[in-house]
Copies of this chain bind each other. A is one copy, B any other.
Amino acid sequence: MSHMAKTLRLSQVPLYLQVATLLRRRIEDGHWGVGAKISTIEELQAEFGVARVTVRQAIELLEKEGLVSRQQGRGTFVAATLEDPRWLTLDASWSSLIGTIKHNIPKFLPIATPLRAPRLGPEEGRAADEYVFLRSVQFRGNRAYSLVSVQLAKEIFERDSDAFRRHAALPIVAAMKGVAIASARQTLIIGSADPETARLLKVPLNSPTAEAHCVVIDRNGVAIYVADIVYRGDCIKLETKFFTGE
């Protein structure tokens, strides 16, 4: 058995799904251009070290997804229309973060979970006396791309509760006159969609996500804004610009 075939068999995931994922990446990579003919089943069978039918089954999946079209006697071709997969760019700088968020359309969710103090790490300030809990799904066009859970210091919320109920919270906080923001920090990890997230963002259960934990601290060292944001992993691109100032 080939090395490749052994690697595939290490996983408990069905073979044809793994093969489909490999082919899907190649297509999205541009390994085969738009409209180009992909390798024949025979070639792929030899390359991956699996049965002909298994490759066929994988390609069948891709056709259902609209990624390729098969033509008997000719071959399998990459579909003409491939949308840009990474349509949401997040900028890791304060000003453009605010700018990006401002244009989004949040749909607020009713709050079912009981209030509880936000989880704060060691360098994330101390908790405010009371928080208001806000949850929303963020949209770009028709597509949901993130699930936002915000804990906002009650004192801040009440300064303009109407605005907070209709718009993204961070730009409002940033623009507030009497609020002095001392620092803000964000940590980001790669996770996977839990059942609720999967439902709200319309992604498969356990599909990869980026989970951001964002804290804004005022001059008194109080965490006035604590957000946990789950992005769908397949649409985001994180940009960071370093200025070395030499």
Contact = CB atoms under 8 A, between A and B. Distances in A.
A237 B189 CA distance: 5
Nearest to A86: B189
A94 B242 contact: yes
Contact of A8 (B192, B205, B209): B205
Contact of A14 (B14, B92, B187, B237): B14
A244 B174 CA distance: 10
A36 B189 CA distance: 26
Copies of this protein, total: 2
A71 interface: no
A240 B18 contact: no
Interface stretch (A72-80, A131-139, A193-201): A193-201
30 contacts: A4-B195, A7-B199, A8-B205, A10-B204, A10-B205, A13-B206, A18-B206, A21-B192, A21-B206, A22-B206, A25-B191, A92-B92, A93-B242, A174-B244, A183-B242, A184-B241, A184-B242, A186-B240, A187-B237, A187-B240, A188-B238, A188-B240, A189-B237, A189-B238, A190-B209, A190-B233, A190-B236, A192-B208, A208-B208, A238-B238
Interface string A76-95: 00000000001000001110
Given A208-B208, A238-B238, 15 more contacts: A8-B205, A12-B17, A22-B194, A22-B205, A25-B191, A25-B194, A92-B240, A174-B244, A184-B241, A184-B242, A186-B242, A187-B237, A188-B240, A189-B236, A192-B208
A180 B246 contact: yes
Interface residues of A, number: 54
A51 interface: no
Contact of A205 (B18, B180, B187): B18
A97 interface: yes
